[in-house]
Amino acid sequence: MMMRQARRRSQQGKPGVEEHPGHRLMARRGFRLACGAIAIACLVLTAAGARAGEVVRTPSIFAPTSTPAFAIRELAMFVLGITGAIFLVVGGLGVYVLVQFRRRRGDDGREPPQVYGSRQIELAWTVVPLLIVAVLFLVTARYIFGIERRQPPADALEVTVVGHQWWWEIRYPRLGIVTANELHLPVSDPARPTPTFVTLQSADVIHSFWIPQLAGKTDVIPNKTNRTWIDPLQTGTYLGQCAEYCGLQHAGMLLTATVHTRDDFARWVATQQAPVRNEAHAFRGRELFASLACSSCHTVQGTSAHGVFGPDLTHLMSRSTLGSGVVRNTPENLRRWVEDPASLKPGALMPAMQLSREDLEQVTAYLMTLR
C-alpha cells in the first residue's frame, strides 16, 4: 500500500514530463480526432436537417428519404466497412513495420536476410483480394437489380425529364404539365406507396440525373431512354445536380425536387393546369414577346409561342429560380436575365436580345404575369 502510494507520487512528480515527445504525438492525435469528430458532426447535422423536412443545402447520400437512396446508403456503409477494415489492416501493418524496423542507434547497416518466393503468401494475397472484390461485386449487383426490378403500380406518377444544355425540362404527360428545373412530387406513404417513375431523355449530350437523397445517379443519354424511380417518404425540398460533365455550365445545371403532401401536390397540379390570364397592363410586353425571337424557343400555353428549344414559360413565376438554379427568380434577376443571360450564367445558349430599356421593361412585366 505504502509502496503503491509512493510510486504514484513519484510518477506525478516525474521531471521533464512536459517535454516528452509523446505529448506532441498526442496533440497530433487530438487534432486528427477533432477532424474526425467535425466530419461526423457534419454528417449528423445533415441527417438531422433532412429529418426536419427542411432544405438540405448540401445534398448527402447519408441522409436518404426514399427507398432507392436508403438501399444505396446501406450498400455504401457495407463497402465502407470492408474497405475501412482493409485500410486499417494495411495501414496498421505499414505503421508496425515502420516503427519496428526503423533505423536504430548502433545499427550495423547490414541488409536483413532476403526471402524469395512463398507459395502460401502469394496465394493468400491473390485469393483474398479476389474474394473480397467478388463479394463487393455480387452485393452491388444485387442492390442494382433490386432497385431496377421495381415495376410501376397502375397509379404511379409518371414524369419525363429531358436534359438540355444546361437545364431540365420536366413533363407530366398524364397531367398535361410542362415545367423546368423544379420537380414536384407527392409524398409516398410507406403503408401504401405511391412512387414516381422518371423517364429520362436527352436533347443534346449526356447528362446525369441525380438527387442524392432520393435515388442514385441515372445517366441521361441522347437516343436512349432510361428509367428510374423515387418514393420520397418525407415532405421537403431536395437538391439535385447534373452529375455528368456536359459542357461549360455543367455545374450550373441544378435541380430541386419539392415533395408535397397529397393535398398540396393536388393544389400545385391545379395551378400548373390553369391557363394564364391575359393582364391588360402586360399587353405591350406580350406583343413584343410574340413578335421577337422569344416565341421560337419558348412556349407559353394559350399563345402563339410554341418554341421547344428553351424552357416552357407558361407558369414561369411559380418557379423559385432562373437559369436552372443559378439565381433566385426575383424581378431584378428576371430583368437581368432577359437583358443578357450570360451576365448571370456565362455560356447560356439564350442570346442577349439587345432590347431597348423600354422594351426590356415591357417584356419583363409580361413575364411576371406568367404565374
Residues near ligand CUA (CB under 6 A) are: 163, 166, 207, 242, 244-246, 250, 253
Nearer to ligand CUA by Cβ, of 162 and 313: the residue is 162
- 108 backbone dihedrals φ, ψ, rounded to 5°: -85, 0
DSSP designation for 306 = B
CB 207 to ligand CUA: min, Å = 3
Question: Between 67 and 218, whose beta carbon lies closer to ligand CUA?
Answer: 218
**427507398: which residue's cell?**
67
Interhelix angle for 357-367 vs 331-339, to 10°?
Answer: 130
* Burial zone of 226 (CB within 10 Å; 0-12 exposed, 13-18 middle, 19+ buried): middle
Least distance CB 257 / ligand CUA (angstroms): 16
Grid coordinates of 343: 451576365
Q: How do strand 182-186 and strand 254-260 relate by DSSP bridges?
A: parallel
User: Quick one: 250 or 315, whose CB is closer to ligand CUA?
Assistant: 250
DSSP lists the bridge partners of residue 158 as 197
Q: How does DSSP assign 65-81, residue by residue?
A: -BHHHHHHHHHHHHHHH
Least Å distance, CB 254 to ligand CUA, is 10
Q: Tell me which H or E stretch contains 50.
A: helix 21-51
Between 162 and 242, whose beta carbon lies closer to ligand CUA? 242
The distance in angstroms from the start CA to the end CA of the chain is: 85
The least CB distance from residue 246 to ligand CUA, in Å, is: 3
Q: Between residues 197 and 210, which has the closer beta carbon with respect to ligand CUA?
A: 210
Closest by CA position to 185, among listed 197, 167, 173, 168: 197
Residue number, 163 or 310, with CB nearest to ligand CUA: 163
- Please report the sign of the dihedral spanned by the C-alpha atoms of residue 85, residue 91, residue 93, residue 95: negative
Q: Which is nearer to ligand CUA, 242 or 288 (CB)?
A: 242
DSSP state of 363: H
Q: Which residue has the cell 459542357?
A: 247
**Residue 267 CB, nearest approach to ligand CUA (Å):** 31
Q: What are the cell numbers at 24?
A: 506532441
CA distance 159 to 148: 17
State the Cα–Cα distance between residues 343 and 349, nearest whole angstrom.
Answer: 12
CB of 255 to ligand CUA, least distance (A): 10
Return the number of the residue (166 or 238) whose C-beta is nearest ligand CUA: 166
CB of 220 to ligand CUA, least distance (A): 7
- For residues 346 and 330, give the distance between their C-alpha atoms in angstroms, rounded to a whole number: 19
Nearest to 206 by CA among 235, 166, 152: 166
Cβ at position 248, least distance to ligand CUA in Å: 10
Element (H, E) at 254: strand 254-260
Residue closer to ligand CUA (CB basis): 125 or 245 = 245
Which residues pair with residue 201 across a beta bridge?
Answer: 162
Q: How far is the CB of 208 from ligand CUA (least distance, A)?
A: 7
Closer residue to ligand CUA (CB): 239 or 269: 239
Q: How far is the CB of 204 from ligand CUA (least distance, A)?
A: 9
